[in-house]
Structure 1
Amino acid sequence: MKTGGRVATFTLQDVIRAGVDIGLPALTVQGVADTLGVSAAAVYRHVAGRSALEGLVGEAILDRLEISDNRDDPAVAHLVGFAVQLRRFALRHPGSAQYFLRMFPRGPSGTRLLEQQIAALGRRGYDPATATAFSGAIATLSLGAVVAEQERAIGLRDLEATKAALAELAGSRVLRQASAAIPEHTQEDYFVFMLTAAATGLVNQFPPGRPITVTPSDQP
């Protein structure tokens, strides 16, 4: 791209901004080049390839995530609040849930968030190892739920498949009765239901002072 007879210059930050604008699902080196009005070869002078580009863009997106902590909340409420904030952020940034699930933390933004979680749970009596395990478990469940929610939304676009699924449900008396007994709820309501159960289980299994384990153990 030339402007006024001179080759336009761009920086790595320009590459990252263009990548964030494109979004993780559609991110390609060529897409960034097209957005910047330069050649793909020029972009490759700043990034080694698509994987490196994804890391830079994912890190830039994650840098926008700020988790608030009400210090009066007990551990379960804090963990559920963390989960809800993570869900909302991931839904606002398509592709971020999949990216975070592949490796977290992988850069300074992820490290910052994990350190904040260790500090928050530390104020509630948990040692860094247990806080890390709690945060990782809740993040994995939250992001997995977001991916499932996004996949269901894609599936619902298939009207024929949706009709078939509803017909199957209507054809089962047991499932009709079960569905009728479930209160009306939003996707976030159901998410909170699941994550509250998970957080409660973690806190009950590992109260402050109990060493963290990842294998089944007898209840105290």
Structure 2
Amino acid sequence: MTAKEYKDLSVKEFTKAAEIYESDNAGVYNMCKKDYPDVLAELEKEPFTDLLDCGCGTGPMLTLLHRKYPDKHYTGIDLTPKMIEVAKRKNMKGVELVVGDCENLPFAEDSFDVVICCESFHHYPNPQDFFSSVYRVLRPGGRLILRDMTMNSAAVRWFCNHIEMPLIHLAGKGDVRIYGREDIRKLCDNAGLHMESFDKRGFCRLHCVVRKIR
């Protein structure tokens, strides 16, 4: 499929999911809630002022952050207009919500101390564009906290990417690919970023911290 076809599938999928995304009836999307504690713990390690949430959805992570650190400035971006529409209903002070493409972030250079991306990255058809865009908008010393799906076994990842993904597309979902440690390292290197840590946590979660050194 083309990049546009992947993105169109994602917009269609999450337009349907927007109204129930944070409810107890969200189905598979309830899995995303497992990422929030680890992201919050990572953020507690260093001070920050400006944070960007890539693939923010209806803003569940931004809601938690806004409650915990109400004096910070937050920006959320999502490809699906309906997701941003639902997020805006929360009327969170100091939170800017933008419809846009995470592969081409519409923000100035050196805008953010932290970029977070939770369970959105596997929907991006041009992953290198995302990493390069993150490099541009991060301030020197800033970091990307990435949470997504992974498998340790290269053979299992191959099965997921070449057999399971096409079946998922038939079901109307815009998943593109899951990644291993070396995949992420190469994306970082090509973007001028430094991968500080990469852990597999739980059944199929990657937890990765990436730094913009300069």
Shorter-chain-normalised TM-score: which range?
under 0.3
Greater Cα radius of gyration, structure 1 or 2? 1
State TM-score, norm by structure 1.
0.23
State TM-score, norm by structure 2.
0.23
Which is strand-richer, 1 or 2?
Answer: 2
Which is helix-richer, 1 or 2?
Answer: 1
